[in-house]
A and B are shown apart, each in its own frame.
Chain A
Amino acid sequence: MKPAPFDYRAPGSLDEALGLLGDESVVLAGGQSLVPLLNLRLARPELVVDINGLAELDYIRADDGPLRIGAMTRQVTLERSELVRERCPLLSAAVRLVGHPQIRARGTVGGSVAHADPAAELPVVLTALGARFHLRSPAGERALDASELFLGPLATAREPDELLVEIEVPEQPEGTGHGFAEHARTHGDFATAGAAAVVGPGGAGIALLGAGPVPARAEAAERALAGGAAPAEAAALAAESIEDDHRRALCTELARRAIGEALA
């Protein structure tokens, strides 16, 4: 199918973009989720605000400690970044599982976060990493953590006049280990379940994919792990609230693998 008619604007600056956002608009970043919705007419916006011209949101830097990723950074750029591989190998590993090369060539880090698909890899990994999400509106800027940003499937706390501008990944202390494991029926498909684990001297971050409506930290498992629990024990805690037997078994095993990898 083809999209229904819409007005289209491609602002050349962030300020111009912010002036266009509102109740009737949608933001077009990489388009790998939005354009299918337009094609299927599941989305029929009045106005499409294309932010692909905002070069100022395409960066990866770590000058002041945390890894700062501009929202318009393409997934392929994240995948190829030496800085990311060095600072946050978990992101480098997980982004390779997002869609296919043709998707990652266009898809953006910010788009994946703002779309908030509960089966997407990047939101889960960023949740485990304790990322902060910076939103900008004409009124100013605010930063949310994952528990504040993700409200439900495809739903975030972003207001219609706000734009996600940056993802901030806190610096990982020396000696931090990472792991990510997922199960997908075919490579590149949306995963049915997955787990991300970050285990370091300062504590642990564990988040599951496919376990609920939003990526959420498995806090009981994190505490258990910090207290010296074995990976299998922490993994069982992480998945214990999942009702469906198959999904719980899958998440438990994937969490065990991710935690094991992080500790290896």
Chain B
Amino acid sequence: MRISVEINGRAYDGEVEPRTLLSDFIRHEAGLTGTKVGCEQGVCGACTVQLDGEPVRSCLMLAIQASGRSLTTVEGLAPDGELHPLQRAFREEHALQCGFCTPGFLMSIEAFLRTNPDAGDEELRDALAGNLCRCTGYLGIIEATRRAAREMGGSNG
């Protein structure tokens, strides 16, 4: 089937089977390997991307369902090589070790901070609950999120 999708502002056209997952299209057809694939059953959050600005699991969508829509992947956070404030905060606060879960966290948190710039701690922890990290223990991720929220102009933290 014919697919035409915008990823990080660039148009990608191609042919996909109906069963092709969006996560596989992003990695294998569009060549954007920043998006990671973990469990392929919607549990780990590693494949989180934004569909028209909302965070979604790309392993739980068929690629064809994204046709005509606009996607943002982790590559879209730093289009000119300049790190997004959230990415900088992750580095400063040691919010990653192996980094496999990081793109998913970034895409979830960026969407959350955009709609909840002044969120309290509990909301923030809720917002992170859909992404699993097996290295850091989350505290660094929470600190990084607070720091990014401050830098991005919210009063969080």
**A and B form one complex:** yes
Cβ contact within 8 Å between B42 and A101? no
Interchain nearest-CB distance for A102 vs B (Å):
5
| The residue from B19, B56, B64 contacting A105, defined by CB atoms under 8 A apart | B56
> CA of A105 to CA of B54 in the docked complex: distance in angstroms?
6
Chain B residues contacting A32 (CB-CB under 8 Å) are 42, 57, 60
Cβ contact within 8 Å between B42 and A40? no
Cβ contact within 8 Å between A35 and B60? yes
For residue B30, CB closer than 8 A to chain A, the reply is no
> CA of A34 to CA of B99 in the docked complex: distance in angstroms?
29
For residue B32, CB closer than 8 A to chain A, the reply is no
For residue B1, CB closer than 8 A to chain A, the reply is yes
B: number of interface residues (CB 8 Å): 30
Cβ contact within 8 Å between B40 and A102? no
Q: Mark A1-34, 1 if CB is under 8 A from B, else 0.
A: 1111111101000000000000000001001100
> CA of A102 to CA of B131 in the docked complex: distance in angstroms?
9
Cβ contact within 8 Å between B55 and A105? yes
Closest A residue to B20 by CB, please name it. A2
For residue A187, CB closer than 8 A to chain B, the reply is yes
Chain B residues contacting A2 (CB-CB under 8 Å) are 19, 21, 24, 40
Q: Mark A54-89, 1 if CB is under 8 A from B, else 0.
A: 000000000000000000000010000000000000
If over half of A's interface residues share one DSSP class (helix, strand or loop), that class is named, otherwise mixed; here it is: loop
For residue A200, CB closer than 8 A to chain B, the reply is no
Cβ contact within 8 Å between A1 and B40? yes
For residue B152, CB closer than 8 A to chain A, the reply is no
For residue A36, CB closer than 8 A to chain B, the reply is yes
Interchain nearest-CB distance for A120 vs B (Å):
14
For residue A219, CB closer than 8 A to chain B, the reply is no
Cβ contact within 8 Å between B129 and A100? yes
Chain A residues contacting B126 (CB-CB under 8 Å) are 187-188
| The residue from B24, B61, B130 contacting A31, defined by CB atoms under 8 A apart | B61
Cβ contact within 8 Å between A8 and B64? yes
Closest A residue to B42 by CB, please name it. A36
Task: Please provide the chain A residues from 85 to 123 with a CB less than 8 Å away from any CB of chain B in the complex.
Answer: 99-103, 105-106
> CA of A7 to CA of B17 in the docked complex: distance in angstroms?
9
Cβ contact within 8 Å between B129 and A38? no
